[in-house]
Amino acid sequence: MPKDVEVHDIRHDWTRDEIAALYDLPFGELVFRAQTLHRRYFAPNQVQLSTLLSIKTGGCPEDCAYCPQSAHYDTGVDAAKLMDVEAVLAEARAAKVQGAQRFCMGAAWREPKDRDLDAVCAMVTGVKALGLETCATLGMLTGAQAQRLKAAGLDYYNHNLDTAPDFYGAIISTRQYQDRLDTLAHVRSAGMKVCCGGIVGMGESRDHRAGLIAALATLPEHPDSVPINMLVKVAGTPLANADALDELEFVRTIAVARICMPQSVVRLSAGREGMSEALQALCFLAGANSIFCGARLLTTPNPARDIDRAMMDRLGLSPMTS
């Protein structure tokens, strides 16, 4: 922990009202507070780089209203089988050559079957042997499954809360909020690091956004990585015509996440393909310090690597070293 860290920076008792008050601060004041905290915990101009690969695409039985991989919606995404282990490792090698520090593997499952984990664990072990950090998002896990993934070498497990508890039912009906919290508990108990965030721009109110941050910031341990996703509107999903979120409201969400979880890496995640470089720069100023690199995020577009390299060069950003 840095020498100038204040003990009271790290809190697990944030109230929704307190977080709503942060959102209401003048924009400059909010960003200043976030950047000040960011510099206590992180090198100010370093960004963690991850690459995300869909290892099993489409056909998911969940009805998440934002997701093009749901079997409930006609989005043009066809269901595919789990990728071959060697094909995944080839993608991981290419990602490492391109500068990725962490390789994330995502499968469109409600939860993995135990037999599915045989191949996934082989992927994790192989990616780890390449010298990359490993991350997976496979849906809900049992405690035993979490232990298997940990033993295989999985560093991070991603399982997002998506939104506030009181807005969750408007987005998903096929699993409960508590199911998500239970999986996070299994991941922590197994000794893996938690990657957990949410999506904004789904028609939620500012109070709901405060509720999402409150749910994350009052977990027993703050997530090690907090992805903040801007909704990518996909034709065929119920949210295809959702109203666009105000850009400064998105920056406010990044800043509030940084203030409430100052030790967490805050990832500027999905939706960057539709963001200007200036908007992304504001997000970095507000405390974001991670991105996905590579032209695809599961099934949706992401800026090409050369575009990101040019942006980072112009902003004086470099890959995170630790």
Choosing from 16, 64, 148, 293, the catalytic residue is 64
On whether the CB atoms of residues 63 and 72 are closer than 8 A, the answer is: yes
- For residue 219 the two structure tokens come to 């977990």
List, in sequence order, the alpha helices (H) in 160-304: 177-190, 206-217, 247-260, 277-285
Sequence-ordered list of residues with C-beta below 8 angstroms from that of 317, at least 6 positions apart, any chain:
45, 46, 47, 284, 311
Told to judge if 121 belongs to the known catalytic residues of this protein, a careful annotator would answer no
16, 267, 272, 293: which one is catalytic?
267
Cβ neighbours of residue 280 under 8 Å, at least 6 residues apart?
Answer: 268, 272, 311
Catalytic residue among 104, 121, 196, 260: 104
Sign of CA pseudo-dihedral 82, 134, 117, 162: negative
* Residue 188, helix vs strand vs coil: helix
d(CA 31, CA 284): 10
Phi-psi region of 160 (alpha: psi -120 to 50; beta: other; left: phi over 0): beta
Catalytic annotation present for 64: yes
260 flagged as catalytic: no
Rounded to an integer, what distance in angstroms lies between the CA atom of residue 298 and that of residue 295?
10
One of 16, 33, 102, 135 is an active-site residue; which one? 135
Indicate if 195 belongs to the active site.
yes
Cα–Cα distance for residue pair 286/253, rounded to 1 Å = 9
* 67 is annotated as an active-site residue: yes
Exactly one of 16, 175, 195, 293 is catalytic; name it: 195
220 and 182 Cβ atoms separated by less than 8 Å: no
CA distance 227 to 197: 5
Cα separation of the two ends of the chain: 13
Q: Which residues form the catalytic set? A: 60, 64, 67, 104, 135, 195, 267
